[in-house]
Structure 1
Amino acid sequence: MGKRPGTVRERLLETADRLFYATGIHAVGIDRVIAESGVAKSTMYVHFRTKEELVAAYLRRRSDVMRARVTGEAEARAQEPVEERVLAVFDVLDEVISEPGFRGCAFANAAAEYPHHADVQAAIAYDRTWLPALLSGLLHVDGGDELVAALVQVYDGANAAAHLDHSATAARTARKTAELLLSTRRPTSSTA
């Protein structure tokens, strides 16, 4: 077997992402992450002093990947009406839900496993900021806007329903709900 690509840190994070998401964080011991990443234990601890530090980094990485994916799709629709750019969020969620191995929201799962760990909770809080910020920017409203809050709740609900109810249509239903919510908003002069 040849040398694995990527930095040691990337290999550790890729392995942690695959194992933690598929199996559950507490169900995966640090020795398994080390073994499957092909990294020496002492090297792992140079990058992550504790398992919880690795968990927090895994969550931030997962957040960054989803943020880039959704933002990229919204930006790709820059010539379309703002509503279509907002609906891109639900289109990407539909793609994610359809991927093999979908196990719900990694952040809800982590919150259930680590309800009081400060670093893990900070990583969850980090993730909880990007979607409202994206939607607020697209809709040209402030972060406390009720429409933004409603759209985030619809997104969260679809994510949960897809996992808990094994619903393959949860994101499409959420998209239709988002369309209804968007149809009630008053246009602003800065909306384009």
Structure 2
Amino acid sequence: MEKKITPTSKTQKRNEMIKSAFDIFYKNGFHATGVDTIIDGTGISKRTLYKHFLSKEGLIIATLNYYHETRYKEIAGYIEKAVVENPVDKVLMIFDLLIKLVDAGNVNGCFAMNAKTEYAHKAAEIEAVCDLHINKLEMLVEKYLFEANITDSKAIATQVIMLFEGSILRSKAIQSSAPIKLAKKAAKVICSQS
């Protein structure tokens, strides 16, 4: 009997490939990970990989979209579920979540920032997806700063995200959440002076 492939199973297989490739890229980096490594890690054929993703870059974009969807949802949910009334305190919670992640052993940094660094000025489509992730985070921060009646909430949100990004890089380098705690203090000062 011939096995029927349903659209659901195709989507499921595609999602499994994305999640496996995501783990491999996150651990090893993008340039250091060849297609053969992905194939070995996912157990699929090269033909199947290229059927779902036209190129390695297409797969990278899919993993970046996966990261953005899951991480952004995690950050927004973390803030929304908190019983914190002050919108500035909600903004500062992005640092709290980051501290928890690093303290739990996630010291690989931000997947989108890693890709942006590796592909800077080399792959516009990859950079665009990375920028989307950071821009959405900045918009989330700006939303809460606006609710707090912070003057020039857009510029302050940019500064907070710069501290956030810098603390991610530094915490990755030293494998400690200490830089994130310092960045949170600096962000609190910036927000309180506005």
Match of 2:182 among 173, 181, 185: 173
Q: Are the equivalent residues in 1 in contact too, given 2:84–2:90 (CA < 8 A)?
A: no
Q: Return the letter of the residue paired with 1:165.
A: I
Match of 1:73 among 67, 72, 78: 78
State how far apart, in whole Å, the 2-side matches of 1:57 and 1:65 are: 12
- Alignment deviations for residues 68-118 of structure 1 (CA, whole Å, 9 cap, x no partner): 111001111265211221111111111222232522222232123222212
1:171 to 1:83, Cα distance in 2 relative to 1, 3 A:
same
Which aligned pairs between 1:28-107 and structure 2 lie closer than 5 A? 28-77=33-82, 79-107=84-112
State the Cα distance separating 1:175 from its structure 2 match. Answer: 1.5
Q: Which residue of 2 aligns with 1:120?
A: 126
1:12 paired with 2:21, answer no
Q: Which residue of 2 aligns with 1:138?
A: 144
Q: Return the letter of the residue paired with 1:171.
A: I
Q: Return the letter of the residue paired with 1:180.
A: V
In the alignment, structure 2 segments of 5+ residues that lack a partner are 1-10
Q: Whose helix fraction is larger, Structure 1's or Structure 2's?
A: 2
State how far apart, in whole Å, the 1-side matches of 2:152 and 2:68 are: 19
State how far apart, in whole Å, the 1-side matches of 2:43 and 2:34 are: 15
Q: Are the equivalent residues in 2 in contact too, given 1:158–1:174 (CA < 8 A)?
A: yes
1:133 to 1:101, Cα distance in 2 relative to 1, 3 A:
closer
**SS of aligned partner of 1:49:** coil
Q: Which residue of 2 aligns with 1:189?
A: none
Q: Count matched residues.
A: 180
State the Cα distance separating 1:156 from its structure 2 match. Answer: 0.9
Q: Are the equivalent residues in 2 in contact too, given 1:34–1:41 (CA < 8 A)?
A: yes
Between 138-147 and 173-182, the greater mean CA deviation after superposition? 138-147
Q: Which residue of 1 aligns with 2:156?
A: 147
Return the TM-score normalized by structure 2: 0.84
State the Cα distance separating 1:16 from its structure 2 match. Answer: 1.1
Q: Which residue of 2 aligns with 1:129?
A: 135
Percent identity over the alignment?
26
In the alignment, structure 1 segments of 5+ residues that lack a partner are 1-5, 186-192
State the Cα distance separating 1:153 from its structure 2 match. Answer: 0.9
